[in-house]
């Protein structure tokens, strides 16, 4: 069986992450990839698709259902948990760490599936790294806004230049062993408390 003959099913409520996995699989030569991102009627769809391999996000609440289907169902070939080989502890750990789980049809050689899992793990990790970076960028933007408002307050109330206002914030932060954004936030909060209808 060549890679492209394996029927791979990706189940993930996160559409973007699912698309990233699908993309990776297609790049690696897997042509028969199906993505399910709506969990409604999942059991029926899996039975219809009869996949050789299922890649699913670890947090998916349908995993217990999925595992029981494999255990009992006559409708589906008997897929089994990816990690049947206890010696494979490192890859179990890497997968759980990344937040992905996989199931394969009984009888399929583990080696044939390992590249899929490896790819899924690295793409799951890349996805969470991207999400984290996006979050941080958003946070930084927010911080910059707060600092700008605090500078504005100081410039107006104390007649400082922008540079001097920033220097004051920085000096205060250093003296109190806190972050500039924390000092700025306290200032903005205090100003809004003192002057709720304020003009800042």
CA–CA dist 51, 42 (Å, integer) = 13
88 or 182: CB nearest other proteins: 88
Q: Report the SS3 class of residue 181.
A: helix
62 or 125: CB nearest other proteins: 62
CA–CA dist 65, 22 (Å, integer) = 23
Report the nearest approach of other proteins to the CB of residue 17 (Å): 16
67 or 182: CB nearest other proteins: 67
Report the nearest approach of other proteins to the CB of residue 45 (Å): 13
70 or 166: CB nearest other proteins: 70
Whether 113 and 5 have beta carbons less than 8 Å apart is answered as no
Rg (CA), the chain: 26
Report the nearest approach of other proteins to the CB of residue 92 (Å): 5
In residues, how long is the chain? Answer: 200
Binding site for other proteins (CB under 8 A): 39, 43, 58-69, 71-72, 81, 83-84, 86, 89, 92-93, 96-97, 101
Report the nearest approach of other proteins to the CB of residue 67 (Å): 6
Report the nearest approach of other proteins to the CB of residue 152 (Å): 36
Full strand arrangement of the beta sheet holding 79-81: 33-36, 8-11, 53-57, 100-105, 79-81
98 or 150: CB nearest other proteins: 98
CA–CA dist 4, 26 (Å, integer) = 9
């Amino acid at each position: 069986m060549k890679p492209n003959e394996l029927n791979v099913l990706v189940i993930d409520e996160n559409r973007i992450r699912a698309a990233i996995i699908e993309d990776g699989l297609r790049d690696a030569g897997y042509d028969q990839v199906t993505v399910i991102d709506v969990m409604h009627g999942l059991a029926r769809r899996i039975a219809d698709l009869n996949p050789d391999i299922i890649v699913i996000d670890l947090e998916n609440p349908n995993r217990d259902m999925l595992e029981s289907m494999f255990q009992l169902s006559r409708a589906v070939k008997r897929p089994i948990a990816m990690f049947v080989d206890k010696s494979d502890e490192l890859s179990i750990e890497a997968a759980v760490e990344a937040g992905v789980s996989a199931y394969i049809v009984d009888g399929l050689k583990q080696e044939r599936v390992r590249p899929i899992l490896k790819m899924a793990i690295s793409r799951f990790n890349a996805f969470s790294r991207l999400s984290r970076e996006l979050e941080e960028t958003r946070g930084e933007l927010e911080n910059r806004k707060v600092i700008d408002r605090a500078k504005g307050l100081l410039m107006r109330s104390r007649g400082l230049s922008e540079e001097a206002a920033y220097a004051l914030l920085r000096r205060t932060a250093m003296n109190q062993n806190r972050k500039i954004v924390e000092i700025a936030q306290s200032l903005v909060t205090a100003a809004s408390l003192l002057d709720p209808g304020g003009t800042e």
